[in-house]
Structures are given as structure tokens and as C-alpha cells.
Amino acid sequence: MTEHPTTQADTAADDWLEALLREDGREHRAEYVEDDGFTARVMAALPAPATLPAWRKPVIAGLWAVAGLGIALSLPSAVYEATHEVLRIVLAQRVSLTGIVAGVAALGVATWVSAALALREE
């Protein structure tokens, strides 16, 4: 989302409006409209929020693993050729301590990012 640059006039216009809204809020904050427990009854009658079952993520990961293994087994020559090409490219590279550290760091970052995405609350 792009933000539009604000001008001095926009800031001044927002300031007086913000001040009025804050003042109005201070005046009416302490006021309470008695509803004879209506709000509490409505909140109690609402259904519980839908939650996803705990087994969902491991099952989905397992299904993807099975699908990948199924593809690999159904296309053995393609998997063999792809593996051969990857190994040819990787093994043709010179190995240095800097390269190993960079590779381990990249794998660590990828692991942390994927774990954060997998474990986030939905």
C-alpha cells in the first residue's frame, strides 16, 4: 500500500479534527448507557469462534510429502536427470569456508521463515 505524502495543510487540518475528537471522547468516556444486561446476553449467545483442528497442518504437510514422493516415483527418469543436473552444478563449484557459511546461513533463514509461517496464528 502506498502512502500519499502529507502536506502542512493536511497535517494542520488533521490536528484540529483530532483534538476535537479527543475532547469529545473525554467528555463521553465516563457515560454508560444502562441496557439491563442486554450486551452480556448477546455476547453470551454468540457462537464460539471457529478453530481449525490441531491435526490439520501435519496432515497437509504429510499429504504434500506423499504427493512429492508419488511424483518422484512415477517419473523416475525425470527425477534422476534433475538430480544429476543439480549435483553436476553443485559439485562443479569450489568449496570454501565462506561459501559453506553462506549456505548454512541461507538454510537457517529459510528454516526460520518457513517455521514462522507454519506456526503463525490464523
- Cα–Cα dist 89/76, whole Å: 20
CB 81 within 8 A of CB 88: no
Domain ranges of the chain: 8-45
User: Which DSSP state fits 94?
Assistant: P
Q: How confident is the model at residue 22 (pLDDT cuts 50, 70, 90)?
A: confident
Structure confidence by residue, pLDDT tens digits, 1-10:
445 555 555 5
| Per-residue pLDDT, 109 | 95
Structure confidence by residue, pLDDT tens digits, 45-75:
999 888 888 899 999 999 999 998 888 888 8
Helix (H), strand (E) at residue 46 = none
Cell 506423499 sits on residue = 66
pTM above 0.85, yes or no: no
| Per-residue pLDDT, 1 | 46
| Per-residue pLDDT, 4 | 53
Q: Across residues 77-96, what is the average pLDDT?
A: 84
Q: How confident is the model at residue 112 (pLDDT cuts 50, 70, 90)?
A: very high
